[in-house]
Amino acid sequence: MLRAIYDWVDERLDITPIWRDVADHEVPEHVNPAHHFSAFIYCFGGLTFFVVLIQILSGMFLAMYYVPDIINANESVKYLQDEVAMGAIVRGMHHWGASVAIVMLFLHTMRVFFTGSYKNPRELNWVVGVLIFFVMLGLGLTGYLLPWDNKAYFATKVTIEIVNSVPFIGEYIGLLLQGGDIVGAQTIARFFAIHVFFLPAALLGLLGAHFIIIRRQGISGPL
């Protein structure tokens, strides 16, 4: 069945050359675990991408039940957790996946740094990777408020106070995030929009640029 669908699409769009270009790409010998034990450190990037995919898919599921307002936000999370089939599992995957993604991204960044993979001609990809790191931190920060419980509320207040302390522009950024004089309805609406629309769009764009550059330049050599 799948083969028939593939052949039908391939007949009209000629996708086989594109697929072969992606799937048949050779990788250097030093990233093959069969030849080098240290090759496992080159897996952190792929593992990070895998966790990000899980975050996207689980987040799409959560968004179908979440209500981003101060009256219903916490109740919608409780309903998802207690009433929806597999809801607790998916929410747990999303919750813990956020931490795992940051850890894996940190390990990947350390691998790139200590193997000198950020040097010429890969400086631009290093900059893109650092931007991805900050976007991931932003996703973790904005997602923390959404359950709208006491821990999320006071943690967000502390975060906005820290932002306000930044010289010159901190007050304006804090007002943009908070949306008013207090952490309330405007805050949760803005954090939800940033978490679900703005930052994921930025992340997908940066990931696309990251993969294109890797494909053009290839995987960096050994230490």
- Residue 42 DSSP symbol: G
Q: Identify the three-state secondary structure at position 182.
A: coil
Mean pLDDT to the nearest integer, 147-155: 95
The mean per-residue pLDDT over the stretch 45-62 comes to 96
Say if residue 75 is exposed, middle or buried (CB neighbours under 10 Å; 0-12, 13-18, 19+). Answer: exposed
Helices (H) and strands (E) in the chain, counts: 10, 0
Of all residues in the chain, what percent carry a pLDDT higher than 90? 75
Instruction: For residue range 76-112, list pLDDT tens digits in order.
Output: 999 999 999 999 999 999 999 999 999 999 999 999 9
Q: What is the mean pLDDT of residues 3-27?
A: 83
- Whether the pLDDT of residue 35 is over 70: the answer is no
Residue 34's pLDDT is 64
The closest of 18, 33, 20, 41 to 220, measured between CA atoms, is 41
Domains of the chain: 28-116+123-217 (1.20.810.10)
pLDDT at position 187 over 90: yes
